[in-house]
Chains A and B, each alone.
Chain A
């Protein structure tokens, strides 16, 4: 049976399949273990999205970059800078919420444009370019303000606090009132971004050329694809998504603070890898990254429901999962290699 499933799925989808199975297994285990603590409630599931909406957006962008064979470690700092800029513009400069959001998204695009140009046209290692970007954005955050700025802008808070109730899945809470599950606009943004990028990668010419560039740059070039342009576009889009992730993150914390979102980029990379993206490029799927984020969220939920375990165990479990997926990936690459050899 395993053979049959395996035969029907390509390597790409096989990794995705395992990730999804793992998530479902973990979630069911959680429901059984913590059945007395309401783990099975639909709201607990929605909270995974509410708490990680920003990370979903960032992980989608990261996946795209990883598929090209690149990396972007600046997004955590860009998220912090975006939050700080939003807070600073709205609170200290009296700029309206909407113009402020548009400005930070534009800044994200410019940020991506500069990084992308350096990577694609000057052929500098993406790691180094985005490392510089990381320091720059974090530094700028502190320069804008080293104090914490709290957002009081009414329009912004209205967006942040707009609960969207679902018409199903309600439950009686301990006071006996019926509570319907809810989500926030941030979740909608995350899901929309996920679907759009998924469609783009799967059905557009640009999306296919991203895979081609990441799979083998040389043959992509021989195929007549504009490799440089494709890379530049990916980094620009990623810059935009990083800023958007910052906005979504800010909806959750409604404030700017230098120390915000530290290690965010690493969480995004981890989510992508757990979701089946190969760091060598050419292989990856944004749906997998979504499940990567959800797995991380589930582990965190596990630990809070458990109540006595140190929250640092999240990191250890993530480390174990990363090892597991990397080993699995190399096994797949190895067997594929062998198969090819056998054919020729």
Chain B
């Protein structure tokens, strides 16, 4: 008797599981029903996102989620790949079967996309890339790429510095610069370094004393800055290839008894919210934006494609330069 009841109990559990699963699905069922009525007009977009590894990434996700809403005529299917390429490949295959109208992909890695994007192409679904580029021999596998222009960010930083020095009346002085580079080989490091160096050559009185990698982290940035301060006693400008390293540099400069933002001009990249706080405190002089808000631009591309217009293959998002004096006005509008 007990044996029977236990078996019965086991099967009951199975029943509950199946029920629970069906229950999980129920809300989804309702939403699909609702959208059924407006299905004709809604453009279905599948977004294969990298994950949620940083504030930048989260802001990027939110940008898509707030742009591709039903009020704007879209239905967004969002997939978080948990930093795994194989998950993105699976998601894209599922998007294809759902016959979404567009696939947006923010690739985890650059390689290995030929097969699955070939399937999308065969199914006639246009693919738009966001943020990172992919390494494929056939560039018809995607219709457009949207992302930041790191070289331009580097140019912008130097241009701002030029203007700022003129404001201070120091344009004819010898200016000693050090650079805290990002992780060597990353596209942000390569682009920003190139952008800075391009513009630097236009200023013969500016000297790049040294550059070294701080690996995009605050602690490493501080460490490198400390060694710079020991080796060179006349540093005028620090260019940190992201804000986190700039924060590290600020700590190092303070520890060396100098005043960051005054004795030494500090420029950061990314323009995260914490950078605005540092600018308001007067420690940081400027941050060049790396804009994660790709959603509106992707929506623009989709609208053009819907009308049958041609779109530019490479599209840079607008990126601003935020000097310290504007920080207080802008900080509240920053999303990340």
Which residues of A come within 8 Å of B, CB atoms? Answer: 2-3, 6, 18, 21-22, 25-26, 29-30, 33-34, 36-39, 41, 43-44, 47, 50-51, 147-152, 157, 160-161, 173-175, 179, 184, 249, 252-255, 257, 259-262, 297, 300-308, 310-312, 320-321, 324, 327-328, 331, 335, 338-339
A6 contacts across to B, CB distance below 8 A: 7
- Contact of B263 with A by CB under 8 A: no
A29 and B81 form a contact (CB under 8 A): no
The answer for the CA separation of A300 and B79 in the assembled complex, in Å, is 10
Closest to A308 in B: B78
Q: Mark B111-123, 1 if CB is under 8 A from A, else 0.
A: 1101100100001
Query: Knowing that A253-B86, A306-B25 are A-B contacts, what are 12 other residue pairs whose CB atoms are under 8 Å apart, sorted by A's residue number?
Result: A3-B7, A22-B17, A22-B18, A51-B90, A51-B93, A148-B109, A150-B110, A161-B114, A259-B83, A301-B90, A310-B80, A311-B81
User: Known contacts A149-B111, A161-B118: does B90 contact A300 (CB below 8 Å)?
Assistant: yes
Closest B residue to A328 by CB, please name it.
Answer: B10
CB distance from A152 to the nearest CB of B (A): 7
Say yes or no: is B98 at the interface (Cβ < 8 Å to chain A): yes
1/0 contact string of B50-77 vs chain A (CB within 8 Å):
0000000000000000000000000111
Q: Contact: A2 with B78, CB < 8 Å?
A: no
Known: A36-B32, A302-B25. A324 touches B17 (CB 8 A): yes
Q: Indicate whether B36 reaches chain A with its CB closer than 8 angstroms.
A: yes
Q: Are A257 and B83 in contact (CB under 8 A)?
A: no
Nearest A residue to B88, CB-CB: A253
Indicate whether B333 reaches chain A with its CB closer than 8 angstroms.
no
Scan B7-36; emit 1 where CB is below 8 A from any A CB, else 0: 111110110011001100110110010001
In whole Å, how far is B241's beta carbon from the nearest beta carbon of chain A? 19
CB contact under 8 A between A331 and B14, given known A38-B98, A304-B94? no
A321 to B24 alpha-carbon distance, docked (Å)? 15
Q: A148-B110, A310-B80, A324-B17 are in contact. Are A253 and B89 (CB under 8 A)?
A: yes
B132 to chain A minimum Cβ distance, whole angstroms, is 11
- Are B94 and A301 in touch, CB under 8 angstroms? yes
The total of Cβ contacts below 8 Å across the A-B interface reads: 150
Asked if B85 is an interface residue, CB under 8 A from chain A, the answer is yes
* Number of residues from B at the complex interface, CB < 8 A: 55
**Nearest-CB residue, chain B, relative to A306:** B28
The distance in angstroms between the C-alpha atoms of A173 and B79, with both chains bound, is 23
Q: B111 contacts A44, CB within 8 Å?
A: no
* In the assembled complex, B255 has its CB within 8 A of some CB on chain A: no
Assess whether A331 is in contact with B10, with CB atoms less than 8 Å apart.
Answer: yes
What is the bound-complex CA distance between A148 and B133, given in angstroms? 14
Q: Is the CB of B77 within 8 A of A304?
A: yes
**Residues of chain A contacted by B110 (CB below 8 angstroms):** 148, 150
A66 to B94, CA, bound (A): 32
Shortest C-beta distance, A245 to chain B (Å), equals 12
Q: In the complex the two chains form, is A252's CB within 8 Å of B94's CB? A: no
Q: What residues on A are CB-neighbors of B4 within 8 Å?
A: 2-3
Chain A residues whose C-beta falls within 8 Å of the C-beta of B17 in the assembled complex: 22, 320-321, 324
- Residues of chain A with a CB closer than 8 A to B29's CB: 33
Measured between C-beta atoms, what is the minimum distance from B166 to chain A in Å? 42
A331 to B4, CA, bound (A): 12
Pick the 9 closest A-B CB pairs, nearest first.
A150-B111, A255-B111, A307-B77, A304-B94, A33-B25, A253-B112, A255-B112, A51-B90, A254-B112
Q: Say whether A257 contacts B111, CB under 8 Å.
A: yes
Complex contacts, B75 vs chain A, CB 8 Å? 307
CA distance A260 to B7 in the complex (A): 42
B112 with A2: CB separation less than 8 A: no
Do the beta carbons of B3 and A335 come within 8 Å of each other? Answer: yes
Alpha-carbon distance between A320 and B16 when the two chains are bound, in angstroms: 12
Nearest Cβ on chain A to B115's Cβ, whole angstroms: 5
User: How near does chain A come to B187, taking the closest CB pair, in angstroms?
Assistant: 12
Quick one: given A33-B25, A34-B32, A307-B76, are A47 and B94 in contact (CB under 8 Å)?
yes
Nearest Cβ distance between residue B17 and chain A, in whole angstroms? 6
From the candidates A26, A33, A173, name the one contacting B18 in the complex (CB within 8 A).
A26
Chain B contacts of A259 at CB under 8 A?
83
Q: Are A2 and B32 neighbours in the complex by a CB distance under 8 Å? A: no
- Quick one: closest B residue to A6, CB to CB? B7
Shortest Cβ gap from A92 to chain B (Å): 14
Q: How far is the CA of A312 from the CA of B80 in the complex (A)?
A: 8
Check: B185 CB closer than 8 A to any chain A CB: yes
Q: Is B84 an interface residue (CB 8 A)?
A: yes
CB <8 Å contact, B82 and A254: no
* Interchain CA distance A339-B2 in the complex, whole Å: 11
- Chain A residues with CB under 8 Å of B42's CB are none
Q: Answer yes or no: B91 CB below 8 A from chain A CBs.
A: yes
Chain B residues with CB below 8 A from A30, complex form: 25
Could you tell me the distance in whole angstroms from the C-beta of A264 to the nearest C-beta in chain B?
A: 9
In Å, the complex CA distance between A55 and B111 comes to 21
Query: How far is A285 from B135 in the complex, measured between Cα atoms in Å?
Result: 41
CA distance A34 to B21 in the complex (A): 13
Contact B98 A37 (CB under 8 A): yes
Contact residues in A for B6 (Cβ distance below 8 Å): 331, 335
B7 to chain A, nearest CB (A): 6
| CA gap between A302 and B97 in the complex, in Å | 12
Q: How far, in angstroms, from A157 to B111 measured CA to CA in the complex?
A: 13
Chain A contacts of B80 at CB under 8 A? 310-312
